[in-house]
Amino acid sequence: MSTETKGKIGVTTENIFPVIKKFLYSDHEIFLRELVANAVDADQKMKALAVSGEFKGELGELNVRIVLDEDAKTLKVIDNGLGMTEAEVDKYINQIAFSSAGEFLEKYKDQIGNIIGHFGLGFYSAFMVSKKVTIDTLSWKEGAKAVRWTCDGSPEYEMSESDKKDRGTEITLYIDDEDAEFATKGRIQTLLDKYCKFMPVPVIFGKEQEWKDGKYVDTDKDNVINRTEPLWAKKPSDLKEEDYMEFYRTLYPMQDEPLFHIHLNVDYPFHLTGILYFPKIKDRMEVTRNKIQLYCNQMFVTDSVENIVPDFLTLLHGVIDSPDIPLNVSRSYLQSDANVKKISGYITRKVADRLEEIFKNEREALESKWDNLKLFIEYGMLSDEKFCERAMKFCLLKNTEGKYFSIDEYKKAIETEQTDKDKKLVFLYATDAVAQYPYVEAAKNRGYDVLLLDCQLDAHFVNLLETKIGDCRFARVDSDSIDNLIPKEERIRPEMSEQDKSDLEVIFKSMLPEGNNYYVTAENLGENASPILITQSEFMRRYRDMSSLGGGMNFYSEMPESYNIAVNMQNPLVMKIMDAKMAEVKPAEQVEDAPKDAAEDQKKAVEEQKKAVSEAHRKDLESFAAGNSILKQITDLALLANGMLKGKALSDFIARSEKVVSDAYLEK
Ligand code: ADP
Ligand code: MG
């Protein structure tokens, strides 16, 4: 090529450069990944030529060099790969690279903002940040001449002879003023770390530095920014646990040690390798920082893998490398892609396989790490049907004594004691072992076992287990009296007249804090049981809990709290109060109903009188209650047991109790 050639590249739209710049503005940085990827390709093709014997000369050490001149604002990507002849530059750059960029834009012009990875632009993306690009290239082929290609961002290029002496390609970007950030060392270093950390050929950026005489100075050692053989590309059988941990630290230097890892490796029907880690998860809200990184042949693509793996798996950390995930398509399309579905199914299955294997072979380790793993598993079970089926086998339940059981083991353990009269298995649980301590103790004394379900998702999880296990019921220990939690036979309730029942209700309600709903019932709980038991219905509480988690049932969370007040009619203190009531409160006056044929105003008068009488009776009962010190003390004790005695009521109770104690022990 003795004369200079000019030509027009094969793009149909004249002003395609500004279009690219505008639409892909936020992703300008990917130009570097694209150029390094091309350079890596060129090196690997060169290696293949040597391996096949087509090339017999000196291969040298294949690598990619990034050379930045901050002052001149130029950035070079240099490889010693196979290079290009003049004809090849014409074909691959002038025709293919540019026309494929044009096609790409044409195809995606409506949704260009949605495309992930922005693949397919390739070499062309250099123009996103450059006012001018030159290629100097010398092909490996015998007798090839070095070529220089120059283009200033218009669809016109120039080709001339280059003085390049050694094999390979050198791309020079003259960085735009508005993209000046890409002519700074810090920015380029960051980008190389992000995109090229695991590329399969050494990528060199400047020299390694050392601290000397009070400042950093270059050594003569090349600064290689990547690991050419990342862990996921190695054989699992060659690796030790420590290798996986070390790799995790290079991926996420600031993070706690992970719990377990999975090495993924599949060749058919798609290619996928990777390593996933189960992180410690204590709080679902805190887990978005360390995302799974998606690679394509060791080149970083993205760390947003939503739509590629099921939602619950995005809680995992690690890397997935697959050339079979279509990346130049819109996000919404991804989910319906057959390959992506297969990949997502495969990963879910692998995660379940690994957990099952840990359950079988490393039970102790699983138990010791369970508390940090549980949220992940429960979330997976709640959100993914297939995973749930599998997890029923290895999901653990922890009781209030800190023992762990599989679901099947637990069913066996409680079968004898905790089957109710309807043959339903009753799982008792506490959500807070400290606050619900008296109830937990009562259940244990009865020979029952109590699970600890104190995780954020447990309100939903309990519902799921009930449906999956079948023929069972979950009840929180404080949701009813111990007899009613697991009823073994039909209950015998105290016999009382309607009037007595209503009196009981008035008396006890008058002693309880305002603002809640109370349902007072008379129960026979045995003479040694507490006089009053405050419980909250399982149903109401569960719905409140779920709506506070955002289950959409806000109706429930806005209602006042409801409590059941069981008064133990067999308790001697209650009996004493009832006797006192009989003695001190005169029975409600009986008012005769008006005759059926009475006049309207006579009927009205009778109604008025009834109302007045019942109001008077209520006042009598309330003043009796207010004056009864046993009543006050036992209701306060019941409230105290439930953590409901607060503020002034609490300090009054303490003062009163001190007085009771001093009256009993000190001589007056
Ligand atoms: P792709 O890499 O997807 O083929 P690109 O636009 O990135 O698309 O590159 C177009 C073509 O230009 C490549 O396929 C390759 O033939 C050629 N090419 C680009 N960069 C180099 C390079 N550094 N060395 C040799 N050939 C290259
Ligand atoms: Mg490319």
> What range defines the domain where residue 655 resides?
500-535+554-662
544 in a structural domain: no
Task: Summarize pLDDT for 179-215 with one digit per residue, the tens.
Answer: 999 999 999 999 999 999 999 999 999 999 999 999 9
Contact 42, 203 (CB under 8 A): no
User: Measured in angstroms, how far is the CA atom of residue 68 from the centroid of ligand 2?
Assistant: 21
- The pLDDT assigned to 8 comes to 65
Establish whether the linkage from the previous residue to 269 is cis, with ω within 30° of 0.
Answer: yes
User: Measured in angstroms, how far is the CA atom of residue 28 from the centroid of ligand 1?
Assistant: 19
**Which three-class secondary structure string do you get for 95-164?**
HHHHHHHHHHHHHHCCCHHHECCCCCCHHHHHHHCEEEEEEEEECCCCCCCCEEEEECCCCEEEEEECCC
Measuring CA to CA, which residue among 557, 559, 561, 564 is closest to residue 509?
564
CA 182 to CA 70: how far, in whole Å?
Answer: 9
Q: How many residues comprise the chain?
A: 668
Asked if pLDDT for residue 109 goes beyond 80, the answer is: no
Q: Which residues line ligand 1 (CB under 6 A)?
A: 34, 38-39, 42, 79, 81-82, 84, 92-93, 96-97, 122-124, 169
Q: Using CA positions, which residue lies closest to atom 17 of ligand 1? A: 92
Q: Which of 359, 386, 412 is the last residue before a domain boundary?
A: 359
Q: Using CA positions, which residue lies closest to atom 13 of ligand 1? A: 92
Ligand 1 atom nearest the C-alpha of 45 is 25
User: Measured in angstroms, how far is the CA atom of residue 659 from the centroid of ligand 2?
Assistant: 87
User: Total domain count for the chain?
Assistant: 4
**Residue 236 and residue 195 share a domain:** no
Q: Which of 172, 204, 224 is the last residue before a domain boundary?
A: 224
Q: Using CA positions, which residue lies closest to atom 16 of ligand 1? A: 92
User: Measured in angstroms, how far is the CA atom of residue 135 from the centroid of ligand 1?
Assistant: 11
Task: Summarize pLDDT for 286-318 with one digit per residue, the tens.
Answer: 655 568 998 988 988 888 888 788 889 988 999
Ligand located closest to 39 CA:
1
**Residue 442 and residue 374 share a domain:** yes
424: CATH: 3.40.50.11260
Contact 197, 226 (CB under 8 A): yes
Strands 156-161 and 5-8: antiparallel
Q: Span 62-76, mean pLDDT?
A: 97
**Residue 403 and residue 292 share a domain:** no
Phi, psi of 111 (to 5 degrees): -130, 25
**Residue 272 and residue 148 share a domain:** no
541 in a structural domain: no
Asked if pLDDT for residue 550 goes beyond 90, the answer is: no
Burial class (CB in 10 A: 0-12, 13-18, 19+), 189: middle
Contact 121, 96 (CB under 8 A): no
User: Measured in angstroms, how far is the CA atom of residue 336 from the centroid of ligand 2?
Assistant: 26
- The pLDDT assigned to 570 comes to 93
CA 561 to CA 541: how far, in whole Å?
Answer: 9
Query: In testing the pocket of ligand 1, which one of 20, 33, 38 has its CB within 8 Å of the most ligand atoms?
Result: 38
Q: Kindly state the tokens that stand for 473.
A: 């019921």
**Residue 513 and residue 451 share a domain:** no
**Residue 514 and residue 621 share a domain:** yes
- The pLDDT assigned to 22 comes to 54
CA 625 to CA 404: how far, in whole Å?
Answer: 48
User: Measured in angstroms, how far is the CA atom of residue 122 from the centroid of ligand 2?
Assistant: 4
340: CATH: 3.30.230.80
- The pLDDT assigned to 205 comes to 97
Which pLDDT band holds residue 157 (cuts at 50, 70, 90)? confident
The 10 Å CB-count burial string (b at 16+, else e) for 510-531 is bbbeeeeebebbbbbbeeebbb
Q: Using CA positions, which residue lies closest to atom 1 of ligand 1? A: 122
136: CATH: 3.30.565.10
Asked if pLDDT for residue 367 goes beyond 90, the answer is: yes
130 in a structural domain: yes
Q: Find all residues with CB under 8 Å of 565, minimum gap 6, and list them.
A: 508, 509, 512, 518, 519, 520, 521, 532, 533, 534, 638
Q: Cα-Cα-Cα-Cα dihedral of 117, 119, 122, 125, to 10°?
A: -50
Token pair 């007056």: residue: 668
Query: In testing the pocket of ligand 1, which one of 49, 62, 92 has its CB within 8 Å of the most ligand atoms?
Result: 92
**Residue 112 and residue 68 share a domain:** yes
Q: Which of 359, 383, 399 is the last residue before a domain boundary?
A: 359
CA 294 to CA 195: how far, in whole Å?
Answer: 10
Contact 276, 261 (CB under 8 A): yes
Which pLDDT band holds residue 76 (cuts at 50, 70, 90)? very high
**Residue 112 and residue 45 share a domain:** yes
Amino acid residing at 76 = K
**Residue 529 and residue 649 share a domain:** yes
Query: Which residues lie near ion ligand 2 (Cβ < 5 Å)?
Result: 38, 122
User: Measured in angstroms, how far is the CA atom of residue 17 from the centroid of ligand 2?
Assistant: 18
- Look at 269 and 166; give whichever has higher pLDDT: 166
151 in a structural domain: yes
Measuring CA to CA, which residue among 372, 377, 142, 104 is closest to residue 257?
372
Strands 562-568 and 532-535: antiparallel
Q: Using CA positions, which residue lies closest to atom 11 of ligand 1? A: 92
**Residue 330 and residue 239 share a domain:** yes
CA 362 to CA 394: how far, in whole Å?
Answer: 12
Ligand 1 atom nearest the C-alpha of 119 is 3
Ligand located closest to 100 CA:
1
CA 552 to CA 240: how far, in whole Å?
Answer: 47
User: Measured in angstroms, how far is the CA atom of residue 99 from the centroid of ligand 1?
Assistant: 13
